[in-house]
A and B are shown apart, each in its own frame.
Chain A
Amino acid sequence: MSYTVEQLVAVNPYNPDILPDLENYVNEQVSSQTYSLNANLCLLRLYQFEPERMSTQIVARILIKALMAMPAPDFSLCLFLIPERVQMEEQFKTLIVLSHYLETARFRQFWDEAAKSRHILEVVPGFEQAIQAYAVHVLSLTYQKVPRSVLAEAINIEGLSLDKFLEHHVANSGWVTEKTQNKGQLIILPSTEFNHPELKKNTADGIPLEHITRILPILG
């Protein structure tokens, strides 16, 4: 093939002939653990135009990949294009419930539900890690110091595996663990402007260069 799929989409945004290429590309994204929202939206659009060509198996894969892209709103962007009667199918109902738990940060319910739906999710490698990364993202926005138990629940890892997970992040992501006397371990998450508001740069008062140039003749 002389074109990449991304190029195909760019050149033929409204061409039904590329539908099979886009379906193959979804499977490729699954097996190679890559992701292209743009190509997937293009495919959902073609399905929307010709519903009789829709493959629900492919749609399910797109939606699982979109969940893995949290915190980006990709899952909603995909749902906007999928007809309601298709969304009524059991597997899609499950995915919508999972998305709801993630959107409202109810990680315990999420992992319980995900365990029950393994048959749907296990076709997509990297799912758990992607959700864990999202959980860490939300925790990092919210906490300066997070209790170990809260972290454990959010990422669904406990005991020795959690120790290993922490070790890894202490070594690579600047996490620090802290022992407290009565409440067990606390994890100090890296500072960002979102959990340390004082770090927020006051960009609002910057003056663009073009504005300065307007008064240069005066200043000179």
Chain B
Amino acid sequence: MAGTTSYDTDQPASGDSSAAAAGYDPNYVPDSVKSFVVHMYRHIREKNVYEIFQMYETSFQSISDRLFKDSPWPSVDAVATYVDNDHVFCLLYREMWFRHLFARLSPTLKQRIDSWENYCSLFQVVLHGVVNMQLPNQWLWDMVDEFVYQFQSFCQYRAKMKNKTEQEIALLRQPDQAWNVYGVLNYLQALLEKSTIIQILEQEKEGLEQFTATDGYDYNGGSNVLKVLGYFSMIGLLRVHCLLGDYQTGLKCLRPIDITQQGVYTSVIGSHITTIYHYGFANLMMRRYVEAIREFNKILLYIFKTKQYHQKSPQYEQILKKNEQMYALLAVSLSLCPQVKLVEETVNSQLREKYGEKMLRMQRYDDEAFALYDELFSYACPKFITPSSPSYEEPLVNYNQDAYRLQLKLFLYEVKQQQLLSGVRTFLKVYSTISLGKLATYMEVDEPTLRTVLMTYKHKTHAVDSDGKITSNADLDFYISDDMIHVTESKPAKRYGDYFLRQIVKLEGIMTDIDRIKLE
């Protein structure tokens, strides 16, 4: 494919503040860029993953910071001569070129479409199995991540219909439009299927194949690109389905990855966080609070312990932002399902510091509490999208908030259905038995209403999965016999088994040490 970048002829979109075009010559290639592409090209041909990674992660950033803070990198045509006009390298270069542009400048519609076409060409090459490269997981993850991000960004952009120019609308109306939702999903699905990653993960369980053990790399001269892209596509699909509000399907896409274990998804911090953030969010929306709390807790603890190592990473800001959002989601989950014992001490103290006071107010279920649920949800939710094109015949209105408003409304609806539960919980906590009549008086409701509240408590705290298995999310439980309520608080189960196992190993270690002393 010939590079057809044409940013120089594009008009920046209205309201575009970037002064990118001014003084920028796409054909001027500074020496550092020349050296960058020449070395990168060589390392890719030599399959030197370590060096590729260094250049990708460090050199690209430092050159961007020095020379391309607010202008694009040189055009692909200008650098192609330094890399033998290598088709695949040019696709990779453009992928980075667009990613840099999206991160630092405001892309025009034409650029969005060009980037889509570049992804199509790149994925076609990968799908047809003609690549023989070994690329760092970080880069492959970034490709899938950026692909989904640009799709999301395109949907948001398209939905802001009000101040589009006629040219933009004409371009948007073209039949085989870029970033069509079917196209996006089918590319991810194609990578997933063509890579046969699901079968590979299955076979690995039986010891017939190695994937996780080598972090997805191929040490037998093959390429890791299709396999790992297929693997990350599962996470890409999870994210796209969450953006569409299809939580059930999103979680289904992720199922081949066992998130209770380490895996290739944990080898890149961005992929690890994206996976758990969307997994937790989907579970929260499906009312499986315990599952959401457990996974948020684990990843927040992990980020707390490791974030110092990522300070220089280009993803650092993103890590911190998702960290804050997940604390907000944890606060929401715990307010709906007060299972504090699932939360580790460090995470808990961070949580109290950030949201302790808000969480107390959220327990009250008055208007202010609803406003807080609204605030935390809006701050922490994914950027929901409307996947369909607008009707160009009707008057043009912005619809970029529609999807978000629907998800928020349905979530607050759920909160409202649970509003009496925290009150009843407070009373049940201090009794072991109490009559319905007495509790009704305390709660200032009549007896039939109290019965419905108690049944609601049971229904909302007991999740039923597709094979009819019931899981209790309640730490405080009760039953009614005739008109007496009997309360039972589940005691945190002490993990004696683990404790003994560890002590046995420790003792054995000490005994070995002692034996060694005797021998000397």
Cβ of A194 within 8 Å of any chain B Cβ, yes or no, is: yes
Checking A80, A142, A200, A205 against B455 with a beta-carbon cut-off of 8 angstroms, the contacting residue is: A142
Contacts of B452 in A (CB 8 A): 104-107
- The CA-CA distance from A188 to B230 in the complex, in Å, is 54
Checking A81, A150, A200, A207 against B246 with a beta-carbon cut-off of 8 angstroms, the contacting residue is: A81
Q: For chain A residues 50-93, which have a beta carbon within 8 Å of chain B?
A: 50-51, 71-73, 76-77, 79-81, 83-84
Cβ of B479 within 8 Å of any chain A Cβ, yes or no, is: yes
Checking A84, A146, A180 against B405 with a beta-carbon cut-off of 8 angstroms, the contacting residue is: A84
- The CA-CA distance from A26 to B377 in the complex, in Å, is 34
Contacts of B508 in A (CB 8 A): 215, 218
Counting chain B CB atoms within 10 Å of each CB, the highest count among A37, A80, A138 belongs to A80
Chain A: minimal CB distance from B248 (Å): 5
Cβ of A100 within 8 Å of any chain B Cβ, yes or no, is: yes
CB distance A72 to B245 under 8 Å?
no
- Contacts A104-B417, A197-B477 known; A141 to B459 CB distance under 8 Å? yes
Cβ of B111 within 8 Å of any chain A Cβ, yes or no, is: no
Interface segment among B59-67, B181-189, B343-351: the answer is B181-189
- The CA-CA distance from A14 to B453 in the complex, in Å, is 41
CB closest residue in chain A, given B421:
A104
Checking A84, A143, A206, A214 against B479 with a beta-carbon cut-off of 8 angstroms, the contacting residue is: A143
- The CA-CA distance from A60 to B463 in the complex, in Å, is 25
- Contacts A37-B466, A80-B245, A81-B245 known; A48 to B388 CB distance under 8 Å? yes
Interface string of A103-128 (1 = CB under 8 A from B): 11111100000000000000000000
CB distance B287 to A194 under 8 Å?
no
Cβ of A139 within 8 Å of any chain B Cβ, yes or no, is: yes
Cβ of A190 within 8 Å of any chain B Cβ, yes or no, is: no
- The CA-CA distance from A107 to B488 in the complex, in Å, is 26
- The CA-CA distance from A196 to B181 in the complex, in Å, is 49
Cβ of A204 within 8 Å of any chain B Cβ, yes or no, is: yes
CB distance B501 to A207 under 8 Å?
yes
CB distance A80 to B406 under 8 Å?
yes
Q: For chain B residues 454-494, which have a beta carbon within 8 Å of chain A?
A: 454-456, 458-460, 462-466, 470, 472, 477, 479-483, 488, 490, 493-494
Checking B285, B407, B466, B483 against A72 with a beta-carbon cut-off of 8 angstroms, the contacting residue is: B466
CB distance B481 to A207 under 8 Å?
no
Cβ of A132 within 8 Å of any chain B Cβ, yes or no, is: no
Cβ of A144 within 8 Å of any chain B Cβ, yes or no, is: yes
- Contacts A83-B402, A142-B455, A145-B482 known; A204 to B245 CB distance under 8 Å? no
Chain B: minimal CB distance from A60 (Å): 18
CB distance B410 to A79 under 8 Å?
yes
CB closest residue in chain B, given A144:
B481
- The CA-CA distance from A45 to B182 in the complex, in Å, is 11
- The CA-CA distance from A175 to B118 in the complex, in Å, is 66
CB distance A80 to B417 under 8 Å?
no
Q: A-contacting residues of B (Cβ < 8 Å)?
A: 181-182, 185-186, 189, 244-249, 285-287, 387-388, 402, 405-407, 409-410, 413-414, 417, 448, 451-456, 458-460, 462-466, 470, 472, 477, 479-483, 488, 490, 493-498, 501, 504-505, 508
- Contacts A84-B409, A197-B477, A214-B501 known; A73 to B456 CB distance under 8 Å? no
- The CA-CA distance from A51 to B391 in the complex, in Å, is 10
Cβ of A20 within 8 Å of any chain B Cβ, yes or no, is: no
CB distance B410 to A76 under 8 Å?
yes
- Not counting A73-B287, A142-B479, A197-B477, a sample of 18 additional A-B residue pairs whose C-beta atoms are within 8 angstroms of each other reads A13-B249, A37-B248, A72-B465, A84-B405, A100-B413, A104-B417, A105-B459, A138-B458, A141-B458, A141-B462, A142-B454, A145-B482, A180-B482, A194-B472, A195-B479, A207-B498, A207-B501, A218-B508
Counting chain B CB atoms within 10 Å of each CB, the highest count among A15, A16, A73, A218 belongs to A73
- Contacts A14-B185, A71-B464, A105-B456 known; A49 to B410 CB distance under 8 Å? no
CB closest residue in chain A, given B241:
A45
CB distance A73 to B286 under 8 Å?
yes
CB distance A144 to B480 under 8 Å?
yes
- The CA-CA distance from A15 to B185 in the complex, in Å, is 10
Cβ of A211 within 8 Å of any chain B Cβ, yes or no, is: yes
Sampled A-B contacts (29; CB under 8 Å) = A13-B185, A41-B246, A49-B181, A51-B388, A73-B286, A73-B463, A79-B410, A80-B246, A80-B285, A80-B406, A81-B245, A100-B417, A104-B452, A104-B456, A105-B451, A105-B456, A139-B455, A142-B454, A144-B480, A145-B481, A194-B458, A194-B472, A197-B477, A197-B488, A197-B490, A204-B495, A205-B497, A215-B501, A218-B505
Contacts of A37 in B (CB 8 A): 248, 466
Counting chain B CB atoms within 10 Å of each CB, the highest count among A13, A81, A142, A194 belongs to A142
Contacts of B249 in A (CB 8 A): 13, 41-42, 45
Chain A: minimal CB distance from B411 (Å): 9
Give the number of chain A interface residues (Cβ < 8 Å). Answer: 59
- The CA-CA distance from A37 to B252 in the complex, in Å, is 13
- The CA-CA distance from A180 to B479 in the complex, in Å, is 20
CB closest residue in chain A, given B505:
A215
- The CA-CA distance from A100 to B417 in the complex, in Å, is 8
CB closest residue in chain A, given B405:
A84
Cβ of A130 within 8 Å of any chain B Cβ, yes or no, is: no
Checking B189, B451, B482, B498 against A186 with a beta-carbon cut-off of 8 angstroms, the contacting residue is: B482
Chain B: minimal CB distance from A91 (Å): 18
Checking A80, A183, A211 against B407 with a beta-carbon cut-off of 8 angstroms, the contacting residue is: A80
Chain B: minimal CB distance from A124 (Å): 20
Interface string of A193-217 (1 = CB under 8 A from B): 0111110101011110001101100
Interface string of A178-195 (1 = CB under 8 A from B): 001001001000000011
CB closest residue in chain B, given A146:
B480
CB distance A76 to B414 under 8 Å?
yes
Contacts of A76 in B (CB 8 A): 285-287, 410, 414
Contacts of A204 in B (CB 8 A): 493, 495
CB closest residue in chain A, given B286:
A73
- The CA-CA distance from A14 to B406 in the complex, in Å, is 23
CB closest residue in chain B, given A212:
B501
- The CA-CA distance from A76 to B247 in the complex, in Å, is 10
Counting chain A CB atoms within 10 Å of each CB, the highest count among B185, B286, B482 belongs to B482
Checking A84, A100, A215 against B402 with a beta-carbon cut-off of 8 angstroms, the contacting residue is: A84
- The CA-CA distance from A62 to B488 in the complex, in Å, is 39
CB distance A45 to B498 under 8 Å?
no
- The CA-CA distance from A120 to B292 in the complex, in Å, is 36
CB distance B247 to A103 under 8 Å?
no
Chain A: minimal CB distance from B255 (Å): 13
